[in-house]
Amino acid sequence: MAVETYLEIGEQAEYSRRISEADVLRFAEISGDFSPIHVDEAFARTTPFRRRIVHGALLMGLLSTTSTIVAERSMRRGAKGVPVSLGYDRIRIIQPVFIDDEVTARYTVETLDRDAGRTISRIEIVNQHGALCLVGSHVMKWVTPA
């Protein structure tokens, strides 16, 4: 049974945010990831990065926002199924994001499979300089009532 997503290939959503020290510390508290590369400035200065880096999982949360934007757009347009994430694939961190960087999470629909009620989208994070920091793909499924 085909499921109409009311989306088109190439459709995009973006979400931008400056990542603050408070964001990193809150994420460490929530996740329990207190790796010194994220929370200890003195330690971070001894690494090749020379400063603290933002958790990759925190960046993935920004991409979750973009998938929600697309899902809500689909529902406003009339999709009958409930869009849910099936997961993220081939996530690669190309370069680190640092505290006080302004990043943009970008979500681009690349594949529509109406028979399966799924989309596959390219996800990426770019910093304020336009440098690609994270790439991967996201699979979303529209679940219809039985």
Convert the pLDDT of each residue in 59-89 to its tens digit: 999 999 999 999 999 999 999 889 999 999 9
Domain annotation covers residue 99: yes
Distance CA 15, CA 30 (A): 21
Residue 113 has pLDDT above 80, yes or no: yes
Domains of the chain: total: 1
Q: What is the CATH number of the domain that holds 133?
A: 3.10.129.10
The answer to whether the pTM exceeds 0.85 is yes
Q: What is the pLDDT of residue 108?
A: 98
* Domain assignment of residue 85, given as a range: 12-143
- Which parts of 47-94 fold into alpha helices (H)? 56-76
Domain-located, residue 32? yes
Could you tell me if residue 6 is inside a domain? no
Q: Does any domain span residue 128? A: yes
